[in-house]
Amino acid sequence: MKKSEFQNLQSPKGMHDILPQDQEWWDKVRKELQSITEYYHYRRIDPTLLERAEVFEKTLGETTDVVEKQMFVFTSRSGDRLALRPEATASIVRSYLQHGLSHLGQPLKLFYMGPMFRKEQPQAGRFRQFHQVGFEILGGDDDPVYDAQIILTMHRLLERLKIKDISLKVNSIGCRICRPNYRKKLIEYYKNPSFKLCRDCKRRLRENPLRLLDCKNETCQPYKAEAPISLDSLCVYCSKHLKNTLEFLDELHIPYQIDHQLVRGLDYYSRTVFEFFTEAAGPDGQKYDFALGGGGRYDYLIEMFGGRPAGAVGGALGVERVLEVMKALRVNVSSRSKKTVFFIHIGETAKKKSLSLIESLREEGVTVIESLGKDSLGAQLRAADKEGSDYALIFGQKEAFEESVIIRDLRNSVQETVPLKKMIKEVKKRLK
């Protein structure tokens, strides 16, 4: 490959590198996720990035946008049709059954954090490689207390990440018993000859009517407002399930609103579905009004994979979207809890002795930063400034000969020479 050709290579469209300057934000999410999952007793699972394509085609719904338009599917050299996972729930249920996790204490509370892949048009907060944090409660019955627990966990995580103006939208799309009746009502309504449906919705009307309420095309928005609502078609059991879920949320003082058009984009959902939104405004006044994540109940998914029928509910948050709002709100994510020192060497003799001196400091719990590959004093001081270090330890030829070191306060340039044998004690005293 020619040099010019290599220079033109960039990351694939819609996929991005997480650079060092962004890691503090990601660390904040990881830290709060760890805290939340320990508090609520979730156990981590990391399903594979690649799955057989059928895992998603048979569970998400062959007529959903995710399967029809967004999955990255390819054939391996051995002839297997594989897909980069577009979401994690189906993968987790596959893993749950494959590894016999039903033999653990039930219900099993799991969480994950990792990349997903969908071939979408990249835009703010939406990428082709994106990350989700998610929570699942599998293997119990269909008690609405689990729906409330998933919502509570996600709400608390958003709060800990300092997301403001959180709104929760909830709906019920019924079960196998009552949903066919609602489906029939939708078909009758949308068959109105005066409706000018988009091409996708004409197909949805034949294949998957619930997806009509999920359409984002402007031409179809007026019809959604007057469409039949699912709550009018719920059976007694689904009505009671929704009522009990909302009562739990009331007890938790989590505000919500019923959204009759909320159906979620995947076929495996049943009964409760929900989404979290924010209308937070940054210091510049710009509002961030979009979905941060959502989820719902999927009581039939384990059975679809060949397992015994069992209740399950889960939800996920989009990390990139959450981070976009955190940055707009200027959330403080600084992980620096300790003062740091920057070790500066001058000359070959000092450089050779530097590593052992740095290790002696680190063994005593002192956070030391260095740039031993640079020989210039000025370059090392500039590096110390970029790192925001509080003190510099300057070790040159003279100091190496005299077995001493200079401790410089980088905030006021006051410095003092101390013997090497007192270095650790003097440094610790200043870092208190």
Q: Is residue 427 part of a domain?
A: yes
In this structure, are 241 and 387 located in the same domain? no
Asked if the bond preceding 283 is cis, omega within 30° of 0, the reply is no
138 touches 93 (CB < 8 A): yes
Alpha helices in 65-167 (DSSP H): 65, 89-98, 144-160
In this structure, are 60 and 155 located in the same domain? yes
In this structure, are 295 and 375 located in the same domain? no
Confidence at 197, pLDDT banded by 50, 70, 90: confident
In this structure, are 104 and 159 located in the same domain? yes
Q: What is the dihedral of CA 110, 115, 116, 119, to 10 degrees?
A: 170
Domain holding 398, by residue range, is: 341-431
Cα separation of 328 and 286, whole Å? 8
What is the 3-state composition of the chain as percent helix, strand, coil, each rounded to the nearest 5?
40, 25, 35
> Which CA distances in Å does 107 have to 92, 144, 285?
14, 13, 44
In this structure, are 82 and 170 located in the same domain? yes
Averaged pLDDT, 18-44: 93
Domain count, the chain: 2
pLDDT at site 282: 58
Cα separation of 274 and 294, whole Å? 5
Confidence at 271, pLDDT banded by 50, 70, 90: very high
Residue type at 144? P
pTM over 0.85: no
Residue 262, Cβ density class (10 Å: 0-12 exposed, 13-18 middle, ≥19 buried): buried
In this structure, are 407 and 305 located in the same domain? no
- Tens of pLDDT, residue by residue over 312-345, are 999 999 999 999 999 888 888 876 556 889 999 9
Q: Is the pLDDT of residue 3 over 80?
A: no
* CATH for 376: 3.40.50.800
The first and second tokens of residue 315, run together, are: 């939800």
Q: Is residue 394 part of a domain?
A: yes
In this structure, are 29 and 51 located in the same domain? yes
In this structure, are 33 and 114 located in the same domain? yes
> Which CA distances in Å does 299 have to 103, 121, 140, 268?
18, 32, 10, 8
Taking CA 253 as the corner, what is the angle to CA 248 and CA 256, rounded to the nearest 5 degrees? 80
* CATH for 26: 3.30.930.10
Q: Is the pLDDT of residue 91 over 70?
A: yes
- Tens of pLDDT, residue by residue over 201-219, are 888 888 888 888 888 888 8
In this structure, are 369 and 242 located in the same domain? no
- Tens of pLDDT, residue by residue over 138-185, are 988 889 999 999 999 999 999 999 998 899 999 999 999 999 999 999
Confidence at 121, pLDDT banded by 50, 70, 90: confident
267 touches 64 (CB < 8 A): yes
Q: What is the dihedral of CA 282, 286, 289, 293, to 10 degrees?
A: -40
Last residue of a domain, one of 328, 354, 382: 328
Q: Is residue 204 part of a domain?
A: no
Q: Is residue 406 part of a domain?
A: yes
